[in-house]
Amino acid sequence: MQADTIARMAPKDLIGKRVSILDKGWIELQDVMGDDLAIVNAARVSFLGESKGEEKDKRLLFYLMEHRHTSPFEQVEFKFRVRAPLVTWWQWVRHRTWSFNAQSGRYVAFDEDDFYVPSAWRMQSPTNKQASLGALPNELGEPLTQALLAHYEASYRLYRQALEMGVAREQARLFLPGFAVYYTWVAKVDAHNLMHFLALRMAEDAQYEIRVYAQAIYEHFFKPALPWTAEAFERFVLQHH
């Protein structure tokens, strides 16, 4: 990957862009503050300096990344709106440097299709307790998918039945299959902590259901908004991670 092949564009031009992920998920950029130059200027303010031209500015940014001078990267922030299943959300919230505000099943009723259906069934890794390895053959996976869909249908039918009986939404949702339910939330993070998230969650051993979101953030939002930072990130972080 070469970030300098990505056409530079104003980060604000990316606001409103939405990328589809998984079967029913998506991620949308709601707001962004700052760009590569904001990072450079934040570093130079230490001695009241200003931009010295593209070549020197880029060289300084690379120096900051290589030598782990992280605070200037915190001057750039991204805010996303995300729709993802709880199995993704459960991994994401472990990154406590993000700020989150999520949809609540206490206030909003779920729809019939608000459940994640995987495109393939992965097999358990024999050497890693928390990882998968390879896909289950289609002839074995298809009956599982049909069983999952039947489970969703029965669960949702009980959920609706409870609501119609007057049961509070906060209790009726107990009938729903927890890890499969799609939620929508707003998530905000600075560029430094976003890179930490990306380095971990784009890795091959990251769970697929969060890896695809991390890859979408990087390719569709981070690289176009911060091409110098992305190039330095690839050279000094991803290649050694």
Catalytic positions: 201
Residue 146: DSSP 8-state: H
CA dist 191 and 179 (Å) reads 29
Smallest CA-to-CA distance from 223 within 32, 20, 49, 88 is with 32
Q: Coil, strand, or helix at residue 107? A: coil
Strands (E), 151-200: 182-190
Residue 221: DSSP 8-state: I
Radius of gyration of the chain (CA): 21
User: Which residue's structure tokens are 């729709």?
Assistant: 83
Q: In what order do the strands lie in the sheet with 77-85?
A: 18-21, 25-33, 77-85, 182-190, 99-102
User: Which residue's structure tokens are 């009723």?
Assistant: 109
Token digits of residue 10: 């104003």
CA dist 241 and 114 (Å) reads 35
Residue 181 · residue 92 · CB < 8 Å = no
- CB-CB neighbours of 203 under 10 Å: 12
